[in-house]
């Protein structure tokens, strides 16, 4: 039997790293802070890409690609932007055996170089809205890294759009935030809180930043996606202008928005258990594994079991499911059960000679691990129903967990006492110095001001000064 994972209760971080490596999702690289995404992990990313890409295109966005290297002078054009990213920049100073006249920054985000193109492409209001998305890699130099959650290089998508009016840009910003919420909840089965970030957490160079925030099983928050109203800051820096309907020149109003491979880390920490990975069926590559149970069967019985296993696999594939027949005779059934639980196969079907004699099979759902005896003629329908139920159950379980670890706090002492309890809804006076004090003394950070939370004025838990409403505080990744 292969080595088991560190139990979550003994060390959540150790369990997470164990799972990522032993489920063959990712591995460490010899390049500092970078990771190797293995086929099991990349398959999940491809499924995420496929769903999100369609959602973007259904709203009129088109994919493009921009250079990895950005002239250093571009970042300096928007002062707040370069200040915000400066500590994380990787800079190329030499190439082709010679020192470059101007250093290039390896893409930390693409607002600047994309605006350089937008300034050439946008001439009139007839060119708007301009809706562009890019699937790419980015680099942000990190001191402390964790596979998928925070690495020096990671994969993401970044949307960049131009609009005639501030109202149009704000509508786009919130529309894409809703796309992320829908994806997180309907596909990842990961409940999120959508809302506006504090000024200190705002994207460097943006007017406003919005986010989706999820709770992991250790009760920490994960910022799972962001959407930014950039206003006209980058447009003014790069002269991205258009002739308006009034015949006059105007700067465009812009947005940017993105999610990354940290979503895979969020998926792992939301659903998985001490046996390994659990993948919501809508994002799974392998929905079903069929394990023929040969044992001491005769050659004829083995042949019959294998034939039935492959015939059932064909029927399941016709129903649109990803299926594997694990007929490797060098491994025993127990090892195969362990292995497929570890990598997160959603449903296991066992078929042996005794099952064939009863015209039935054994089915086990990954998250429940309960055996059910199902007539073979109903196996396809049952598998589909299991997967539908599993998708819903994973979301409900995660939502119940989040809701049971979300608390209103009405004093600073209560906030300190509950610092490790989950999401804390607290009044705050919007003062960045108070926000910094809370972080220093408790480890809690502001996540967002949730749209779904009914806001009533109150008093800041730290200073007693007026507060416009409650905001989510939590320890976070």
The predicted structure's pLDDT at residue 87: 85
The predicted structure's pLDDT at residue 429: 96
The model's confidence at residue 13, banded by pLDDT at 50, 70 and 90, is very high
- Sheet (strand 323-325) strand order: 323-325, 288-292, 347-351, 360-365, 371-375
Comparing 226 with 87, which gets the higher pLDDT? 226
Q: Over the stretch 288-301, which tens digit does the pLDDT of each residue have?
A: 999 999 878 898 99
Is the pLDDT at 124 greater than 90? The verdict is: yes
DSSP codes of every residue in 98-137: EEEEEEEEE-S--HHHHHHHHHHH--BGGG-SEEEEEEEE
CATH 3.30.110.30 domain span(s) along the chain: 405-474
Query: Would residue 456 be called left, alpha or beta, if left means φ above 0 and alpha means ψ between -120 and 50 degrees?
Result: beta
Is the pLDDT at 3 greater than 80? The verdict is: no
Structure tokens at 122: 């946008």
CATH number for 405-474: choose from 3.30.110.30, 1.10.10.10, 3.30.465.10, 3.40.50.300: 3.30.110.30
The model's confidence at residue 84, banded by pLDDT at 50, 70 and 90, is confident
pTM (two decimals): 0.96
- CATH of region 286-385: 3.40.50.800
Question: Which of 136, 131, 138, 175 is CA-nearest to residue 153?
Answer: 138
Structure tokens at 200: 């200190």
Is the pLDDT at 99 greater than 60? The verdict is: yes
Q: Over the stretch 367-386, which tens digit does the pLDDT of each residue have?
A: 999 999 999 999 999 999 99
| Average pLDDT over all residues of the chain | 96
Report the distance separating Cα 453 and Cα 427, nearest Å.
Answer: 12
The model's confidence at residue 220, banded by pLDDT at 50, 70 and 90, is very high
Is the pLDDT at 82 greater than 90? The verdict is: no
The model's confidence at residue 85, banded by pLDDT at 50, 70 and 90, is confident
The predicted structure's pLDDT at residue 2: 60
CATH class of the 8-271 domain in this structure: alpha beta
Report the distance separating Cα 390 and Cα 347, nearest Å.
Answer: 10
Structure tokens at 285: 């590559």
Percentage of the chain beyond pLDDT 70 is 99
Is the pLDDT at 156 greater than 70? The verdict is: yes
CATH 3.30.930.10 domain span(s) along the chain: 8-271
The model's confidence at residue 247, banded by pLDDT at 50, 70 and 90, is very high
């Amino acid at each position: 039997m292969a080595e088991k994972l560190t139990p979550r209760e003994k060390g959540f971080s150790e369990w997470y790293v164990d799972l990522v490596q032993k489920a063959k999702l990712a591995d460490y690289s010899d390049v500092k802070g970078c990771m190797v995404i293995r086929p099991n992990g990349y398959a999940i990313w491809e499924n995420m890409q496929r769903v999100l890409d369609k959602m973007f295109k259904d709203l009129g966005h088109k994919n493009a690609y921009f250079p990895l290297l950005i002239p250093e002078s571009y970042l300096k054009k928007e002062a707040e932007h370069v200040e915000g990213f400066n500590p994380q920049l990787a800079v190329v100073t030499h190439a082709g055996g010679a020192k470059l006249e101007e250093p290039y920054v390896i893409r930390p985000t693409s607002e600047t170089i994309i605006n350089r193109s937008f300034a050439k492409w946008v001439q009139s209001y007839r060119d708007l809205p301009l809706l562009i998305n890019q699937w790419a890699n980015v680099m942000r130099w990190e001191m402390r890294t964790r596979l998928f959650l925070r690495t020096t290089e990671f994969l993401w998508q970044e949307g960049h759009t131009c609009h005639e009016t501030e109202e149009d840009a704000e509508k786009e910003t919130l529309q894409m935030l809703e796309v992320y919420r829908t994806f997180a909840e309907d596909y990842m089965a990961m409940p999120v809180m959508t809302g506006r970030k504090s000024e200190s957490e705002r994207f460097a160079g943006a007017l406003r930043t919005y986010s989706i925030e999820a709770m992991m099983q250790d009760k920490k928050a994960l910022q799972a996606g962001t959407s930014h109203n950039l206003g006209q800051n980058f447009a003014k820096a790069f002269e991205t202008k258009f002739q308006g309907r009034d015949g006059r020149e105007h700067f465009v109003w812009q947005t940017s928005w993105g999610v990354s491979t940290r979503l895979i880390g969020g998926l792992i920490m939301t659903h998985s258990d001490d046996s390994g990975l659990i993948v919501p069926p809508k994002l799974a590559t392998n929905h079903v594994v069929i394990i023929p149970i040969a044992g001491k069967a005769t050659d004829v019985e083995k042949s019959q079991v294998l034939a039935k296993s492959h015939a059932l696999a064909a029927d399941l594939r016709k129903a649109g499911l990803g299926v594997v027949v694990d007929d490797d005779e060098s491994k025993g059934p127990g090892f195969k059960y362990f292995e497929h639980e570890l990598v997160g196969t959603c449903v296991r079907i066992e078929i042996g000679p005794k099952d064939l004699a009863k015209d039935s099979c054994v089915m086990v759902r990954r998250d429940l691990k309960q055996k059910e005896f199902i007539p073979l003629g109903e196996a396809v329908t049952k598998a589909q129903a299991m997967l539908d139920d599993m998708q819903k159950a994973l979301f409900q379980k995660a939502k119940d967990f989040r809701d049971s670890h979300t608390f209103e706090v009405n004093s600073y002492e209560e906030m300190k006492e509950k610092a490790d309890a989950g999401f804390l809804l607290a009044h705050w006076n919007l003062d960045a110095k108070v926000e910094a004090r809370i972080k220093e003394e408790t480890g809690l950070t502001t996540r967002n001001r949730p749209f779904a939370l009914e806001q009533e004025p109150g008093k800041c838990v730290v200073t007693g000064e007026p507060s416009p409403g409650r905001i989510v505080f939590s320890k976070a990744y």
